[in-house]
Chains A and B, each alone.
Chain A
Amino acid sequence: MKSRNRDSYDSDLTLWEIGPYHGSLPAPMRMSLSLDGEIIASCKVETGFLHRGLEKTCELHPWQAVISYADHLDPEVAVFGELAVCLAVEEIGDIEIPPRAKSIRIILCELSRISAHLTFIVRMAKAVGSETIIHYVLRDREKILDLFELLTGARFSLNFLRFGGVNADVTDGFIERVLEVCEMIRIRMREYNDLFTFNQGFLNRTSCLAVISPELIRTCGITGPNSRAAGNPFDIRKNAAYLGYDELDFEVPVGRGEGGSIGDVHDRFLLRLREITQSMEILKQIAEAVPIGNYINPNIEKGYVVPAGEAYSRIESSRGLLGCHVVSDGKSNPSRIQFRPPTLANLMAVSYLVPGIRIEDLPVVLSSLDLGIAEADR
């Protein structure tokens, strides 16, 4: 810790550096805090501790291997990285995706979204020291990982999407089990609300804390649940639909300020609960009408080489807008792959949101932003 330097003598502030590994940080990162007593006066965020050279690695490997590397963009929600790459490549190659493959992709995406939001609840509960709800939510999340295993053979790092479709068709009984899990989570959501969401202690810790304003959304480019919790109804699934999301009937929830202020930590928490509900609605609609047909475009061969060209895909990941810029020069490996992860914008917002809060609230605020350092550092 740097307790004193010349600046701190002049300003009577204490400097405290935490990280890259610290209990209040959701992932490896470093924060330089200026403290006025227990109030944070300012903060500087330093990231890069999880840099793996992912984009460069993608460029050095064949096209098919890129999908498995894209898995590791954000290991928690692997399918979104895969999907972003696939959509861009399919646009360059003008590859048609069979309707059945689209449905399977949507099922995977929405299950991943639910899983990610359940993990978010766990992180929030850990930040406020509420132990019991953690075990309930993790128990329920296992059911979703079971579904991943049933469909893809893996619980994490699915490596399941392919250019023009998916790797395999759904197994017998998979759709029924998806519906069963949806029903189970619908019931459990009531328990979560009774035990945690509207618990007075939790409200006291989260209401009117670290409010994201519309100006901050514009300044940092915040998207996803954090932006929607602040009242901005921007969702790529609606605004620039892909995979046939425009044919589905679902709402985009926005923050209502039940905790006291629109865009506060409690709003961000509630919004993710509502998104879980909407994802379950989408899954029910898809499950009722999975089209019959191929699960992958039969014209795409195993060693498919993407023709020269470039494309930029945008999808709605569990953390916000995930963009992927793919450039091909017609060779067996990509010329350039670039990701635009939503966490970058959320990280920028940290230095605006943290000043003025108490250091006890730091873990709560960081958890509420749902930072995925893996995708930010890549």
Chain B
Amino acid sequence: MTSGILWVISWCDSIGFPSDLPQWFYALVALICIFCFVVVPSGALLTYMDRKLSADLQARVGPNRAGPSGIFQPLADLLKLLQKGSKKEWHWGENLWLGVHTMALYSTLAVMPLGSLALLVDTEVSAFLPYWSALVLALGTMLLGLSQGSVPGWFGGIRVAAQTLAGSFPALVALLCASVRAGSFKWSVLAASQGFSPWTWTVASNPFETIAFGVFVISGLVLLAIPPLDGGLSTSDIHGGVSSHLYGRRLSLYLFGRFYGFFLWSVITVVLFLGAWRLPLGLSESLAESESYKLLAIIELVLLLFKTLSLMLLITWVARVNSRSRVDQITDFTWKVLSPFSLVALVGASICAGWRAFS
């Protein structure tokens, strides 16, 4: 049993659950907790902040009806979408997509790094698992498009596939760069190789890691078709592409999947390059020594989410003030610019790591 489940066990015990429950039960409780108390609130918060920020940028008022300053607008939107049922029979292709999408969505919850005490899976392949899940998520989106039975869906699906193929290679190489510095693919080791100060983060350790950071972020946007690199999904010639026939509950599930991909990638970026959940002044060690595990887990989680949401808002801001690129321009840029840069970064980061090991 990993240390990540220990907090679940103690919480279950305090609620009054029997102490001899199987491990899968605790893992399930942990996943539900992460989904309900971390991912969903983050989605609502980011949606609200995105709308308010966009409104400020665009000289608009933004949400101002549901709750004070429109704070409950994401909740109101979700409730509205959930009330809307399907008008047509489900197609087997859409069922397939839904299965793949859901599988990708929930499988990554188990490997999402949310703090030193919230690592459900911390193995030598941990860093790769969300990456593969992002690919599966993209595959689900492509299948959704192909199952629409319409030109916008087909074009959208094929464009998503093209973007995913183009973005996955530099993303993988950039991930290797961060792991070369840490010497492992375990989340705990990747985080421990950094500190609280920005100068100790992987991104600032050498110029090659800085390049790798840039490549990782941009290729993630390409891989998951996140604005402004969402040409595969949102251009007006295909009416929104793969989502053109979705509405109601299925649309809310689709939109949440898109948010989740963005959130997941941002969390990984923070853990790999931006100091993860590392606290200042040896706070982690002192809290652990005093056995204040709950407090430590909460502080680490808050810091990680703060960094993650800041990164997401920064990307959203860039998307709001830039034009949407064409899919062939995105894939060209990814293959011809990002991929060579990622290889240069890998070679450079390897040399730096070797130099540090031998010096």
Decide if B197 is an interface residue (CB 8 Å cutoff).
no
Interface residues of B in 300-359 (CB under 8 A from A): 320-329
B322 and A363 contact, CB distance less than 8 A: no
Query: Given contacts A128-B324, A131-B320, A205-B325, are A362 and B237 in contact (CB under 8 A)?
Result: yes
B326 and A360 contact, CB distance less than 8 A: yes
Complex: A134 Cα to B326 Cα, angstroms? 19
A360 and B322 contact, CB distance less than 8 A: no
Q: Which of A194-202, A222-230, A235-243 contacts B (4 or more CB under 8 A)?
A: A194-202
Decide if A359 is an interface residue (CB 8 Å cutoff).
yes
Closest residue of chain B to A204 (Cβ to Cβ) is B329
Interface residues of B in 198-237 (CB under 8 A from A): 228, 231, 234-237
A199 and B323 contact, CB distance less than 8 A: yes
Interface residues of A in 64-78 (CB under 8 A from B): none
Interface residues of B in 20-75 (CB under 8 A from A): 54, 57-60
Number of interface residues of A (CB under 8 A): 32
Decide if B155 is an interface residue (CB 8 Å cutoff).
yes
Decide if A260 is an interface residue (CB 8 Å cutoff).
no
Q: Which of A16-24, A298-306, A321-329, A341-349 contacts B (4 or more CB under 8 A)?
A: A16-24
Question: What residues of chain A lie closer than 8 Å to B324, measured between beta carbons?
Answer: 128-130, 201
Complex: A229 Cα to B237 Cα, angstroms? 25
Closest chain-B Cβ to A231's Cβ sits at a distance in Å of 26
B327 and A132 contact, CB distance less than 8 A: no
Decide if A12 is an interface residue (CB 8 Å cutoff).
no
Complex: A201 Cα to B325 Cα, angstroms? 6
Question: What residues of chain B lie closer than 8 Å to A132, measured between beta carbons?
Answer: 54, 57-58, 320-321
Partner of B235, one of A16, A125, A130, A360: A360
Query: Given contacts A129-B234, A129-B235, are A361 and B59 in contact (CB under 8 A)?
Result: no
A16 and B151 contact, CB distance less than 8 A: yes
Residue in B235, B324, B329 whose Cβ sees the most chain A Cβ within 10 Å:
B235
Decide if A292 is an interface residue (CB 8 Å cutoff).
no
Query: Given contacts A132-B58, A135-B58, are A361 and B320 in contact (CB under 8 A)?
Result: no
Question: What residues of chain A lie closer than 8 Å to B325, measured between beta carbons?
Answer: 201, 204-205
Decide if A139 is an interface residue (CB 8 Å cutoff).
yes
Closest residue of chain A to B60 (Cβ to Cβ) is A135
Question: What residues of chain B lie closer than 8 Å to A284, measured between beta carbons?
Answer: none
Number of interface residues of B (CB under 8 A): 26
Decide if A187 is an interface residue (CB 8 Å cutoff).
no
Question: What residues of chain B lie closer than 8 Å to A128, measured between beta carbons?
Answer: 323-324
Closest residue of chain A to B244 (Cβ to Cβ) is A23
Question: What residues of chain B lie closer than 8 Å to A130, measured between beta carbons?
Answer: 321-324
Decide if B239 is an interface residue (CB 8 Å cutoff).
yes
Decide if A127 is an interface residue (CB 8 Å cutoff).
yes
A136 and B59 contact, CB distance less than 8 A: yes
Closest residue of chain A to B326 (Cβ to Cβ) is A360
Decide if A46 is an interface residue (CB 8 Å cutoff).
no
B59 and A126 contact, CB distance less than 8 A: no
Closest chain-B Cβ to A137's Cβ sits at a distance in Å of 11
Decide if B150 is an interface residue (CB 8 Å cutoff).
yes
Partner of B323, one of A1, A205, A358: A205
Complex: A363 Cα to B237 Cα, angstroms? 7
Closest chain-A Cβ to B324's Cβ sits at a distance in Å of 3
Decide if A246 is an interface residue (CB 8 Å cutoff).
no
Complex: A125 Cα to B236 Cα, angstroms? 12
Closest chain-A Cβ to B62's Cβ sits at a distance in Å of 11
Question: What residues of chain B lie closer than 8 Å to A129, measured between beta carbons?
Answer: 228, 234-236, 323-324
Question: What residues of chain A lie closer than 8 Å to B326, measured between beta carbons?
Answer: 204-205, 358, 360-361
Closest chain-A Cβ to B101's Cβ sits at a distance in Å of 25
A139 and B59 contact, CB distance less than 8 A: yes
Query: Given contacts A24-B236, A38-B155, A132-B58, are A360 and B323 in contact (CB under 8 A)?
Result: no
B322 and A199 contact, CB distance less than 8 A: yes
Closest residue of chain A to B58 (Cβ to Cβ) is A135
Complex: A361 Cα to B328 Cα, angstroms? 11
Question: What residues of chain B lie closer than 8 Å to A358, measured between beta carbons?
Answer: 326, 328
Complex: A362 Cα to B239 Cα, angstroms? 13
Complex: A60 Cα to B100 Cα, angstroms? 64
A201 and B58 contact, CB distance less than 8 A: no
Question: What residues of chain B lie closer than 8 Å to A359, measured between beta carbons?
Answer: 155, 237-238
Question: What residues of chain B lie closer than 8 Å to A127, measured between beta carbons?
Answer: 236
Question: What residues of chain B lie closer than 8 Å to A134, measured between beta carbons?
Answer: 58
Closest chain-A Cβ to B85's Cβ sits at a distance in Å of 25
Complex: A360 Cα to B325 Cα, angstroms? 10
Interface residues of B in 231-263 (CB under 8 A from A): 231, 234-239
Question: What residues of chain B lie closer than 8 Å to A363, measured between beta carbons?
Answer: 235-237
- Binary contact readout A133-165 vs B (1 if CB under 8 angstroms, 0 otherwise): 011100100000000000000000000000000
Complex: A130 Cα to B237 Cα, angstroms? 15
Complex: A31 Cα to B297 Cα, angstroms? 59
Question: What residues of chain A lie closer than 8 Å to B150, measured between beta carbons?
Answer: 1
Closest chain-A Cβ to B256's Cβ sits at a distance in Å of 22
B60 and A360 contact, CB distance less than 8 A: no
Complex: A134 Cα to B60 Cα, angstroms? 11
Closest chain-A Cβ to B268's Cβ sits at a distance in Å of 26
Question: What residues of chain A lie closer than 8 Å to B327, measured between beta carbons?
Answer: 360
Complex: A127 Cα to B155 Cα, angstroms? 18
Closest chain-A Cβ to B334's Cβ sits at a distance in Å of 14
Closest chain-A Cβ to B332's Cβ sits at a distance in Å of 10
A360 and B231 contact, CB distance less than 8 A: yes
Complex: A86 Cα to B319 Cα, angstroms? 48
Closest residue of chain B to A128 (Cβ to Cβ) is B323
- Binary contact readout B255-275 vs A (1 if CB under 8 angstroms, 0 otherwise): 000000000000000000000
- Binary contact readout B131-158 vs A (1 if CB under 8 angstroms, 0 otherwise): 0000000000000000000110001000
Closest chain-B Cβ to A265's Cβ sits at a distance in Å of 12
Question: What residues of chain A lie closer than 8 Å to B328, measured between beta carbons?
Answer: 38, 358, 360
Closest residue of chain B to A136 (Cβ to Cβ) is B59
Closest chain-A Cβ to B151's Cβ sits at a distance in Å of 5
What is the interface of chain B, defined by CB distance below 8 A to chain A? 54, 57-60, 150-151, 155, 228, 231, 234-239, 320-329
Query: What are some 23 contacts across the A-B interface (CB < 8 A)?
Result: A23-B239, A125-B323, A128-B324, A130-B321, A130-B322, A131-B54, A131-B320, A132-B54, A134-B58, A135-B58, A136-B58, A136-B59, A139-B59, A199-B323, A201-B228, A201-B323, A201-B325, A205-B323, A358-B326, A358-B328, A360-B231, A360-B326, A363-B236
User: Which 6 residue pairs are nearest across A and B when measured between Cβ atoms?
Assistant: A129-B324, A201-B323, A135-B58, A23-B236, A128-B323, A24-B237
